[in-house]
Structure 1
């Protein structure tokens, strides 16, 4: 009888262990199913978010296109009416159109974050053509200064060439033509200089377009608040710039140091350079390698007034967040740029 009792006890224990194992397996299956469902829901939400983001970008692009067409068409209409405007009113009339073009440039700078490259290029060409037409018409009706761009016709003809094909201009050539035209149309500029200390300040650059091109071994100081700065083909240079209300465009530079403050910074085909920046949006690099970033740290008398003029938000600086258009992996850092270690940063500039 004792033997039967022991046998019954063992049998009950075995059934209990079996029940427990079965329960554990059920729980394991349930957990896996729940995890799988959570992953599915996360994927659905991610796709929904991406779709909404794409839709928002499309809406922004469409809105920009509509607004740009309306504003540029208005400027073209005003140009056609110039001949009927009283001569005494022409200076203000032309100034108003020029401000309109500046606003178009600023809106394009803001929109480059979501516009396709072709649309950016096409829109930039439209802006340049408007600038040339305004300058030439001003020179025709107010010939106090030689505003006509006789040498610009060849460049405008280049912009009309096809962007592909053996007989047409390449995309690189068209971009170079646009850069050349932008530099030539800038209100203030330093071009083709070597081994010099260069500077502009105050009202000379206040809310104006500034261009720096083909400089080598130069030290440039822009103390003020320009509306935009275009920089191309600099070698072994130091560039210091006060707060820019719009964008700074940098192309084809090497072994330079840039100390810049702006709303938007775009860097193309540049290498072996350091950037000390204050940028309120995210800086963008493209076809660019071995560049380093640190926070903006140039100080000069009147800097606070220039910040007020520019409208930049001092509390918002995305100096450490760089978008590399040539690096698509979101889970890995781009090898094309890095941050300058704090111990290696220049603490004070001898400008």
Structure 2
């Protein structure tokens, strides 16, 4: 655990402190020259920094987590003070020529306001299903363009989000049993906890799996996946039949439960093409259909050799 937290904490600290320092400097500079657009940009960038910290929750040492949270709160306070100290005239609209109509006077009165936020970003949740085929139609996507997605507490399910009509920025998965997940390429990180006898198909920038066993991972990734307290894992590249022709495969797996020069006994590589699974791309209506498909796909319950 010490090695894991140290490695991730060091990488996160560099990214966080760089963004925090730049944002602090911009807040200080804005005290002498603040505009509506400038204040909006600062607010949005601070929200993004807070989101990055929230995404890293559980993967940072407790002390470091608290320190980062205090830094974010301090920035929020500075930005709030800045917003309150600016004269309203800096935010007023240009006045038109004086008019005599009381209605026109009311309409021309300056109304301090901030521009609308960027296109909708949301946090989606998929949780507590048993023996179900789940597609993106089960998610309340509405008009969101990007989203984090949390998947939890699934048992004997097939999740097919390959055609989800929005961009996923991060995935968080926890407590999944006998479940197949067909997921698209995402821009950010995939964090997995407590998976048992599952299949995960995904593309991402960062992959971290904890306390899981008997899982087949078909992965496209630009860095090395990290595992900890895991066993009987098998890694392969993202299946070509699901659009993975040009995507890089797994280069090497870092096992923080096996910090030794010898090969880790907790994972191995395997060739997807030698297995040729029939991926469940069509919706299955009944529990029996889901159970039959899972039986043909899931890893064997016997230890992986």
TM more than 0.5: yes
1:334 and 2:264 are equivalent in the alignment: yes
The residue aligned with 1:30 is none
**In 2: Cα distance, 1:100 partner to 1:65 partner:** 7
Where does the alignment leave 5 or more consecutive residues of structure 2 unmatched?
Answer: 1-7, 81-120, 282-305
The residue aligned with 2:149 is 210
**2:237 touches 2:272 (CA, 8 Å); kept in 1?**
no
**1:188 touches 1:205 (CA, 8 Å); kept in 2?**
no
Aligned residues: 218
**In 2: Cα distance, 1:297 partner to 1:62 partner:** 34
**In 2: Cα distance, 1:287 partner to 1:205 partner:** 36
Please give the residue correspondences for 1:57-68 in structure 2 after superposition, counting only pairs within 5 Å.
63-64=14-15, 66-68=17-19
**In 1: Cα distance, 2:190 partner to 2:13 partner:** 25
The residue aligned with 1:322 is 253
Where does the alignment leave 5 or more consecutive residues of structure 1 unmatched?
Answer: 1-56, 138-184, 305-313
**2:213 touches 2:233 (CA, 8 Å); kept in 1?**
yes
Residues 348 and 329 from structure 1, CA distance in 2 versus in 1: closer, same or farther, beyond 3 angstroms? Answer: same
**In 1: Cα distance, 2:196 partner to 2:159 partner:** 15
Q: TM-score, structure 2 length as denominator?
A: 0.56
Q: TM-score, structure 1 length as denominator?
A: 0.50
**In 2: Cα distance, 1:232 partner to 1:121 partner:** 23
1:287 and 2:243 are equivalent in the alignment: no
**In 2: Cα distance, 1:125 partner to 1:271 partner:** 32
Comparing both chains, which one has the higher relative contact order based on Cα–Cα distances under 8 Å and sequence gaps of 6 or more? Answer: 2
Please give the residue correspondences for 1:199-238 in structure 2 after superposition, counting only pairs within 5 Å.
199-200=135-136, 206-223=145-162, 224=164, 225-238=167-180
Residues 123 and 244 from structure 1, CA distance in 2 versus in 1: closer, same or farther, beyond 3 angstroms? Answer: farther
- Cα deviation for residue 348 of structure 1 reads 4.2
**In 1: Cα distance, 2:210 partner to 2:237 partner:** 20
The residue aligned with 1:190 is 126
Greater Rg by CA: 1
**2:53 touches 2:68 (CA, 8 Å); kept in 1?**
no
Match of 2:181 among 230, 235, 239: 239
Specify the SS of the correspondent of 1:66: helix
Specify the SS of the correspondent of 2:146: coil
Over the residues paired in the alignment, what is the CA RMSD in angstroms? 4.5
